[in-house]
Structure 1
C-alpha cells in the first residue's frame, strides 16, 4: 500500500506513510474481527479459548491515537541478507511498536524487536551495520511534526545524541511510566536482547533506565520465544503496589497483554499478615539459615516403624518386617527429595515389597495388584504413622511459638539471642488466630516448597531486588527454577535492614549463581547536576560502586533552600507552586511522620494532590510521596521536604542515607530541597 509521494517534501511523504500505515493497521484489525470460528472448533471449550485469543489479538491491534505507530526509519546500503557483491540495492524499513503489513503482506512498519530493527539501536558511525541513514521522527499530540537524519556513512561526524532524541528523553512525564522503545541506547539494547537461556542481573544507577530495560526485555522475549513463554508464563515482581501501578501501562503499550505483575508479598500470601516484625526479628527470619531450620523441623515428623506390616489379600497374609520398613524410610530420607514426594513414594515401596513376596510364593501379581496394596488400609495406616501429612503454616507456627521445638532444630544454626528474637510474643492457638508477619509468610512459602514443588515460570523480572532478604530471594527463585530471570536493582538504594551488599551472593540465594551481571552507569533522565549532588553519598552507602554519569546537562536543575523551622511548611508549599508552574509531574517527597502535616497544609492551601499509584488521575499533577514508597518512581520536578526527617525515620544512619539517596534521584527536570535542620549535603 505505497503512499502518494510529494516531490521535495520529505515530511509530507512521511505523514502519508503514517496515514497509509494506520489504514493498514485498521484493516488488519478488521480482518481479525471478521473471523468466523463457528465451525472450526471441536467443542465449546476450544471455542472459548479461541474466542479469547481473537479478542486479545484485536486489543493488541488497537491504533492508539497518541502513540506513534512508528518512531524511526532505517535506510540500508544493501538489502539485508543479500549478496553485497551483486550490488543489490538497499531497503528502507520503518521501525515501530508493532508489525503492520499491507493487503499484499508487505511490511509497512517493522516491530522494534525484529532482527532487522536492531541496527536502529546499535548502529554507529564507527559500526554502521550496513545502515546508510537513520531517521528519527518527532510527534506532537500524535501528529508527525518533525524528523531528524543521521548519516552513518560519515565516520568523522559527531556521535552526540540528536535534538529529537534528547527531547524525547527529556519529555515531561505526567501519569504512569511510559515505554522507552524509541530511545533505547546500545548498552540497554544488549541487555534487552540477551538470550532467554540465562539470567541477567542489572546493577543500574538512578536514571539509567534499568526498570524500563527489564520491561522491554520481557516484551522482546515474548516476541522471540512466544510459544515457549505462552506455555510457561512470565511475571514482573515489583516492591509494592504503587510501583506496579506506575509501570503497568508499559507492556500493554508494546502490545503485550498477558504478563502478570505481583509483589513478593503476593507470591507468598498463604496467610493474612496482621503484624510487623522488629528489624532484628525480620533479619533473622529472612536469613538463609532458616531454610535449614525448617527442613530439620519438617523431617523431624518422620518416625521409624516399630511394628511389622501385615497385608491381607484373600486368604493369604503377607508380612513386611519392621527393619525392612525402616530401610525404606531411611533410603527415602537419604535421597532428600521433597517431603510430599517421599510420602507418596513410600506406599509404593511397601507394596513392591509385598509383591516380591507374592512372586516368591508362586503368584503372578501385576501393577493393578501393587496399586491395590499401596491403597490398602494397612499400608495407609503405616504411612500415616511413619510419614504424616504436614501443613506448612502449622509447622511454622509451632516453630515460632514453641521455644523447645525451635531450639532443637536451630541448634548450631541460630544462637539463643536469635531464637528469642523470632519467637512470637504471644503464641497463637491456631493458624487463623496467629498474628503473622510478612517474614512469616515467606517462611511458610519455604515450608510449602519443602513439601511440594512450587510451579516454575518461564521468565521472571525482579525489580528493586537489592531490598530482598535471602529467604525472599529463595521464594522468587522457586518461581523460575526451570526458567530464567532478569534481576534489576541498585546496591546504593538498598533501604531494608536485610538489603544485599553483593549481587553474586543475592544471585546464589535466587538459585542463579554465575548469572551475567551488567552495570548501567550512564544516566539519561536525571540531570548531571542532581546525580552528581546525590552521588556524594556513595562513599558512605555503597563504597566501591561506580558513580553514575548523565548525558543531560541542565544548569539550575538543583535548588537547596535553608529556612527557619517555623517557615518550613510555607517554603515547601512555595516550592510546590513554583513546580506546578512548569510542565510535567511533581512529587513532594517527605519522611513518613511528616506526611499528615504536609497533607493538611496542601489542603489548606488549596493544592490538590494524589497518592502514589494514583498518577493516572487528571485531578492533579502533584503527588505526595512518603519516602518509603519513592523507590522506582519518577517525577519531572521533585520537592524534597526536610532530609533530616528522612534520616531520623530510619533505624540506622546507613539506611537513612540510602533512603535519602533514593529521594534525591527521583527528579528528571528539577529538584528543590527545603530543609530547616542540618543534613549531610547542605550547601
Structure 2
C-alpha cells in the first residue's frame, strides 16, 4: 500500500545509487533524507573537483586552452546544486539484481565513482516512467518522493510485483502535476507519462510530429526529448548542434529555464524571424500579401529569379598563356552552361564550378597540342582574366536581398518569373507600391526576410543542425517551414503543435502537408489527447469550439482530479472593466500566477484600470523580473503560456480582433486553455454560440 508521510506542496527530482533493498527496512524517510544529504555532498565534491582542474600545462596553444576552459566552466555551471530543486524524485528497486537506484535530473557519483543518483535519461531509469502492474519490467518497487522547498517530506511506494496490491493513481504524482505555477515554465521530469516517454526517447534518426491538445505537455515533451538526445548522442549533437524554435520572444523567455534545469546549457533558442534575420524588419504586409509570400509556390518563383541572369555566351573565351592563345568557342561554353543548369545544383556552387569547367576545356587543348599541364595549371587558367570575364557575364553573382528587392519592385521582372505560378491578382498583392532605392532603405517585412533566406539557400547551402525542436508549428507558412527544414536537412526534427490553435491566415491545414514542406514527409505523427494541466471543466468548455475550428481532432480529456475553479460571468458593458479588476483581486488570493488575457484593443483600458486599482502587473516574458504575480497578456501572445488562474476579458472582443470568425474562435480557444487551476470568463457582449449556456 502507498505510504504518505506528508502530502507535499510539490517537488523536483534526480536519481541515485546502487545499494541493497534491505537498507530501507528501518525509518525509510530518515534513510532517504540521509541519502539526499550524502548526494548533495557528493555533488559538491564533483563541482569542487571540476573547479580545481589546472589546465595551464595541458593545452597546446591559447585557442585550445580557451575552448577547454569554456568546457570546464560549462561543466562547473551544470553541477550547481539548486536549493529548491531536489536531487532525486524517485527510486527503483529491481527484483533480480536486488539493487536500488535513485532517479534524478543529473548523474551524481561518490568518491569511488559509484552512482548516488542516476540521470533520468539513462536506460536503467526508463522503467520509472513505463513500468506497470501488467509490465513490471523487473521492478519490484517504484518510490516517488514529495518535497517542500527542497526538503524531502514524503514518499509513496508502488509494489509492482505484488499481485494483491491494487493499482491506484499516485497522489504525489497528482500533487506535483497540480502544484501552482509561479514564474517561467518548469520541467516535468518527475511526472512524464508513458505515452510522453515514448516520444521523448524516440531515436535521433527519426523525426516526430506531436499533435497535442492544450495541457497535454507537448512543449515539455519536445524540450525533454532534446535533453534526452543530447544525453544519448552527446558526441554527435555536440558537433552538429541542437536548436529550439518558438513562436515569439515571450514564449522563449517562458521556457528558457527548462533545459538548464536538466543540465543542458548549450541549446540555442530562437524564433523563425531570428533565423532569417538577413535584413532589418521595419515593414508589415497586408494579410493577402503575407499569404502569397508565404505560399510554397514562391519557392519556384524565386528559383526562376535566381537563374534569370544566366545567359549563353555569344563570344569565344580566349586564354593567353605565354606565347600561346587557347580558344574555347561559344557553342562549347554554351554546353558547359547548359550542363550546369540541367544539374540543378546550387547557384553559387555552379558559379564556382564554371571557371574550372572552362579551364578543363583549355587543358584538353593543351594536351592535344603536346603539353602536359597539371592541376596547378588548371587552377591558374580558372583564375585567368578572360575566364573570369566570361563567368561574370554569363553567370553573374547574386545578392539575395537585391534580387528579392527587384522581384518585389519590378512588375515586369515579377511577371516573367511568376508566369504560370501566381495569378495577376497575387502578383499585384506582393508588388511594392513604392520601390526602394536599395536593400538598406527598404521596409522589409517578416515574410520578405523568409524570401531572402530562400534565395540565400538557393545560392549556397544552409548549414544543417543535428536536431531541431519546432514548437507552435501550426502557425507557420509553407515558406517558413522550408526555412526551418533547411536547418535540419541532415538532422532530425521534433514538430510540436495543435491544428486547433492555428491563428494565422496560412495556418497549417494538415500535418502531412506541413511535414512535406519541412522536408520530413516520413516523420511519425503522434497525437496526445490526455491532458495534465488544464482542469477538466475548463478543457470541456473550450472543447465546445472544436466542431467549428478543427472538427477532425479528438476532444482532449484531463486526468486531473480537481475540476478547477471555473465560472462565466455576464456584466453590463459599463461594469465590465471593474468586474475584471475584481476577478483579478480574487485570483490573487490564491497561490500561484495569474494571467489576465484580453483582446489587443482592450489591453490599454485594462492597464489603466489595474494602475488605478493599485494592482502591479507584468508583461509576458518578464515574470521573473519582480515579485508581481499578475501578467496582462494580449490574446495574440497567450499561445504556449500558462497561468494558475486566468481571467479572460470579453471573449467577443478576442474573436472580433482577428480577420475572420474561424481564426477568432481559434484565438479564443487558445485563451481559454491557458489556465492550470482556475478560469473566470467575464463578458458584456454575447458569447459565441458554442459557449453560451
What is the TM-score with the length of structure 2 in the denominator? 0.96
Q: For residue 630 of structure 1, report the CA deviation from its aligned partner.
A: 0.2
Counterpart for residue 96 of structure 2: 78
SS in 2 for 1:103: coil
Question: Of 550, 554, 557, which residue of structure 1 is paired with 2:562?
Answer: 554
Q: Is 2:84 aligned against 1:66?
A: yes
Counterpart for residue 14 of structure 2: none
1:344-423 to structure 2, matched below 5 A, reads: 344-423=352-431
State the alpha-carbon separation in 2 of the partners of residues 278 and 24 from structure 1: 59
SS in 2 for 1:473: helix
State the alpha-carbon separation in 2 of the partners of residues 146 and 617 from structure 1: 32
Q: For residue 207 of structure 1, report the CA deviation from its aligned partner.
A: 0.3
Cα deviation code 1:81-128 (max 9, x no counterpart): xxxxxxxxx110000000011111111100000000000000011111
Kept in 1, the 8 Å contact 2:564–2:677? The answer is no
Q: Is 2:474 aligned against 1:466?
A: yes
Question: Of 36, 43, 57, which residue of structure 2 is paired with 1:18?
Answer: 36
Q: Is 2:584 aligned against 1:576?
A: yes
Cα deviation code 1:469-490 (max 9, x no counterpart): 0000000000000100000000
Q: Is 2:49 aligned against 1:41?
A: no
Aligned pair count?
673
Kept in 1, the 8 Å contact 2:44–2:81? The answer is yes
Counterpart for residue 457 of structure 1: 465
Cα deviation code 1:31-53 (max 9, x no counterpart): 11111111111111111111111
State the alpha-carbon separation in 2 of the partners of residues 188 and 160 from structure 1: 20
Q: For residue 554 of structure 1, report the CA deviation from its aligned partner.
A: 2.6
Counterpart for residue 682 of structure 1: 692
Q: For residue 555 of structure 1, report the CA deviation from its aligned partner.
A: 3.5
SS in 1 for 2:633: strand
Cα deviation code 1:47-80 (max 9, x no counterpart): 111111111000001111100100000001012x
Indicate how the Cα distance of structure 1 residues 120 and 462 shifts in structure 2: closer, same or farther if over 3 A, else same: same
State the alpha-carbon separation in 2 of the partners of residues 505 and 175 from structure 1: 36
Q: Is 2:170 aligned against 1:162?
A: yes
Question: Of 518, 543, 546, which residue of structure 2 is paired with 1:535?
Answer: 543
SS in 2 for 1:282: helix
State the alpha-carbon separation in 2 of the partners of residues 158 and 267 from structure 1: 52
Counterpart for residue 504 of structure 2: 496
Kept in 2, the 8 Å contact 1:123–1:131? The answer is yes
State the alpha-carbon separation in 2 of the partners of residues 606 and 163 from structure 1: 39
Question: Of 313, 317, 320, which residue of structure 1 is paired with 2:325?
Answer: 317
Kept in 2, the 8 Å contact 1:504–1:513? The answer is yes
Question: Of 338, 342, 354, which residue of structure 2 is paired with 1:334?
Answer: 342
Question: Of 650, 660, 666, which residue of structure 1 is paired with 2:674?
Answer: 666
State the alpha-carbon separation in 2 of the partners of residues 555 and 389 from structure 1: 64
SS in 1 for 2:485: helix
Q: For residue 545 of structure 1, report the CA deviation from its aligned partner.
A: 0.4
SS in 1 for 2:393: helix
1:146-545 to structure 2, matched below 5 A, reads: 146-155=154-163, 157-545=165-553
SS in 1 for 2:515: helix
State the alpha-carbon separation in 2 of the partners of residues 428 and 43 from structure 1: 49
State the alpha-carbon separation in 2 of the partners of residues 143 and 77 from structure 1: 29
Structure 2 unaligned residues grouped into runs of 5+: 1-16
Q: For residue 618 of structure 1, report the CA deviation from its aligned partner.
A: 3.0
Kept in 2, the 8 Å contact 1:126–1:155? The answer is no
SS in 2 for 1:409: helix
Kept in 2, the 8 Å contact 1:125–1:157? The answer is no
State the alpha-carbon separation in 2 of the partners of residues 233 and 97 from structure 1: 21
State the alpha-carbon separation in 2 of the partners of residues 370 and 7 from structure 1: 81
State the alpha-carbon separation in 1 of the partners of residues 269 and 63 from structure 2: 27
Q: For residue 188 of structure 1, report the CA deviation from its aligned partner.
A: 0.2
Q: For residue 159 of structure 1, report the CA deviation from its aligned partner.
A: 3.8
Kept in 2, the 8 Å contact 1:6–1:12? The answer is no
Cα deviation code 1:167-220 (max 9, x no counterpart): 000000100000000000000000000000011000000000000000000100
SS in 1 for 2:342: helix
Question: Of 587, 590, 602, which residue of structure 1 is paired with 2:595?
Answer: 587
What is the TM-score with the length of structure 1 in the denominator? 0.97
